[in-house]
Every structure is written in structure tokens, then in C-alpha cells.
Chains A and B, each alone.
Chain A
Amino acid sequence: MIEPTWRLPPIPVLLVGVVLIACAELGGGAMAQFKLELARWARGTMLARPEVHGLVGVRDVDEQILDEALVKLDGGLRLFHLHAEGMGTIIIVTAMVATSLVGRSALRRTIVALIMVGGAGYPLGYLLWSGLIPFHGIARSKRLAEWLVWIPFGSAAIVAMWLLAGALAAQWLGGRRSGDAA
């Protein structure tokens, strides 16, 4: 019998969710506080690697390339902030739903582990992307972040969500059938 109250998810899962939200808050603050320093560092790093960024030594052309890279770097940090805030909340909420409503313990543990790992890892891809842009350029950094972080961790989170949805649907249908039988 599953109680009609929420059950607390495992403490390590709560910790991961809260740490992620705290990192997002810190990231948002740091982005605003160190915006100039970050831009200076990124610009210097890119100027030291002209061949990576296709810099040609013509000011008008190079400034446009550098500006685009800086906009993407800033965008990556903003997306980290947004996704970490969102995924931290989703880790806590979905782990609570799974802990309270998924009866089979192996399935419950799988869902909670996948959402915790996938949800916590995915936003870090945006940090990685931003950090790599000055060294590898926009496109190569994006490919690296996609293959190293977004695809594996994002897939884990998506699989966890659909497993949870399937488990809840099965339980809801089971409840309706037993209601019909009664």
C-alpha cells in the first residue's frame, strides 16, 4: 500500500539538487560580478590562438569574430545558470515522486540514480562549452560539449523521466482497473 503522502528522497539526492541550485545562483552572481574580467581573459586567450578562431589580423574582421565568440561564451554561462536552477529543482521533485510512488525498488533506484546523474551533469555542459570556446572556437567546443556531456547526461535524464512516467501510468491504470473490479 502506497501512502498518500510524499516521502523524502535519499539525502545524497537532495544534496546534489541543492548544490546544483547553489552553483546556479553563484554562477549567476559571478557572471554579473566578473563580466569584464571574463571578457578580458577570453579575448586574450582567443588572440593568442588566431588560427583556431580564423583571425586574419584585420581589425574590422577580427573584432566581429571575437564579438561573436564572446556572445556565445556569455550565452553558455547564462544557459548554465538557467539549466542548473531548473534541473536542481527537477532532481528534487522527480526523486520525491519516484521515492513516493514507484513500488519496485530496483526501478525506483534506477530512476533516482539516472535523474540525479543526468540532471546534475547536463547543465555542466554549458560551463564546459563556455570554457572551451576561447581555446577551441565556437563549433568545436559545442561538438565536444555535446558528445562529452549533453548527449550522455541529457539522455540519462530523459530516460529517467520516461521510466518514471511509464511507472506512474502503469500504477494509475492498475488503480483504475482495481477500482473497476471493486
Chain B
Amino acid sequence: MRRPPILLVLVAVVMLALGETAGALLSPLRPAVERYARARVAANAAAHGLTGSAEYDDEVRNRAVFTAEAGISFFHTHAEGLAPVILLAGTIVASVVAGRRARGILFGLLTVGALFPLGYVVYALAALEAGREAGVALAERYVLTPLGASAIMALLGLVVILGRAARTSQPAR
């Protein structure tokens, strides 16, 4: 099997490394993450709609901290899961797609798509900085959707090319 360009491999391996490191934040470093999240919510009281009522504010704070921790957890699982998929898809593109231009486009889309899990880091940070709903919406609109769409388009493109090759019963390369 041919290997994809080194930039694609590098991005996938960096995502794996970041995903593994984020796993450590979820367990031994969890108290530090929670302290940081609570401090950021307090520093952005207006964005979170804190009212000064202890009971209500505690509920808002807990939900924001939960969202930030969920963001890190999603980042961990998506980075560990998507990077091998991108490497596998890149290997299939390198091995079976004949056209240089088509290969270049698919490699580009896959490389950008490999960054998709970073959207969950933005999700976690934006939920703390801009308030829970606004932060999540921002991450989904400007980061998760474009990066996810890139990966999806690359995979659909690969499906179309493989489908054509299968119909003509000959290798695409």
C-alpha cells in the first residue's frame, strides 16, 4: 500500500498525540481542569448570566463546567478515533486514486478534516468564555461544521471514485 503525503500523516499523528494528552486531563488532571473552568466562569460572569443567587449560579456554573469537560472528553475520543480513519482513507487514496489532481484534492480535504476534533477544544473553551449556549453554537458553526464537512466530502469523493472503479471492474489506478 502507498502512503499519503507526510503532511497528512503528521497532522494525524499530532491529533493522536493531542488526543492521548487530553486523556490525561480527564483523569489525573481533572481537579485542575475543574478549577480552571470555575475560574473562567467567574471571570465571564455576564456571559454566563450569573445573578448573584448562590443556588442559581451554582447550577449555571456546574452546567458550564460539565460542558467544558464534555468538550475535552469528545476531543479525546474523536482525536483517537478519527486520526486512524484519516490515515486509512489517505492510504486508500494514495493507493487507488489515479488522477493527480483528484488525489491532491482528496488529500487536502482529509488533512483539513483531520483537524475536526480540535473543534471540541474550541467547544470547551468557548463554553467557558462566551457562555454555554453561545460558546457551543460558535464552535459548531465556525469550527466543527466546516472541518467535519471537509472530512465528509473527502470520504464521499473517495466513495464515488471507488464506485466508478468497481463499476468498470478495474483498479482506479
Instruction: Spell out A's residues near B (CB within 8 Å).
Output: 4-6, 86, 89-90, 93-94, 97, 100-101, 146, 150-151, 154, 157-158, 161-162, 164-165, 168-169, 171-172, 175
Contacts and interface: CB of A to CB of B under 8 A. Distances in A.
Is the contact region of chain A dominated by helix, strand, or loop, or is it mixed? Answer: helix
A5 B84 CA distance: 17
Contacts of B20: 154, 157-158, 161
A172 B13 contact: no
Interface in B1-19: 1-3, 6-7, 9-10, 13-14, 16-17
Secondary structure of the B side of the interface?
helix
B69 interface: no
Contacts of B28: 146, 150-151
Interface residues of B, number: 24
Interface of B: 1-3, 6-7, 9-10, 13-14, 16-17, 20-21, 23-24, 27-28, 80-81, 83-84, 87, 91, 94
Contact of A175 (B6, B16, B27): B6
A90 B76 CA distance: 13
B81 A86 contact: yes
A161 B84 CA distance: 13
B6 A150 contact: no
Contacts of A93: 83-84, 87
A169 B6 CA distance: 9
A168 B12 CA distance: 11
A90 B84 contact: yes
Given A4-B94, A93-B84, A175-B6, 8 more contacts: A5-B3, A6-B3, A86-B81, A90-B16, A158-B17, A161-B13, A164-B17, A165-B17
